[in-house]
Amino acid sequence: MTSFAPRSSLVGQSGGGKSTLTRLLLRLMDVNGGRILIGGQDIARLRQADLRSLIAYVPQEPAMFHRSVRDNIAFARPGATDAEILRAARAAHVTEFVESLPDGFDTLVGERGVKLSGGQRQRIALARAILRDAPILLLDEATSALDSESEILVQEALWRLMQDRTALVVAHRLSTVVRMDRLVVLNRGRIVEQGTHAELLQADGPYARLWHHQSGGFLIDDDAPEAIAPQATQTGRRTFQRAEM
């Protein structure tokens, strides 16, 4: 059984099962062994609408609609006021690029946000999460498309957003999650170690090797040349240990 700290991060090599776990939490797929508990409740017993109302989710590739920037942010909470949308946009640093768009917040973003850069789409997705103000924040490599300067600003905004709520962050770049309460290291669908950044470096295990490789060069896994995610069953389900939030 694993219980997540208030601010936890899932780390590990590609194919370790990080994004799969986020899909399980959102019930985009179901476990076929064990349970996932939120507040002591098995999420399999919750209605999808009730579960989603608890979570603000920012994926690596956020969905955009062929509507205005304003509408794309407001999608997180229909009925939000313009002042609330603007406040969320400022916190996610959306206003920095909106001012240069032809019609500002009323600019149409195109199908799937084709008129915006990857970084701009991610900022809008972050603004949605801020506007939603849900008790659980789920980020799947949510700042990967930002440049270094923008990432620093957005990371600070996210850190403020994490206060007084549960946050689970999937990260490939370990430098973005060193301040988290707990880092959970996954390898092929299993938790191989967990702890704070300092504790895991001192343990000199898989996390320490990942950290040193990312600091000094490319990571080459000689032991597992084909890093493959946990295999799905025919029903699209995967097996994970019981986890609590």
238 within 8 A of 231, measured Cβ to Cβ: yes
**Is the confidence at residue 215, as pLDDT, over 60?**
yes
- Asked if residues 245 and 55 have their Cβ atoms less than 8 Å apart, the reply is no
Opening angle at CA 152, ends 150 and 156, nearest 5: 115
- 73-108: b (≥16 Cβ within 10 Å) or e: bbbbbeebeeebbbebbebbbbbebbeebeeebebb
pTM above 0.85, yes or no: no
pLDDT score recorded for residue 205: 93
What's the confidence (pLDDT) of residue 151? 74
pLDDT at 42 over 50: yes
- pLDDT for residue 13: 84
Distance CA 81, CA 210 (A): 44
How many residues are listed for the chain in this entry?
Answer: 245
Contact between 87 and 95 under an 8 Å Cβ cutoff? The reply is: no
The predicted-structure confidence for 94-120, as pLDDT tens digits, reads as follows: 998 998 999 999 999 999 889 998 888
**pLDDT (0 to 100) of residue 2:** 60
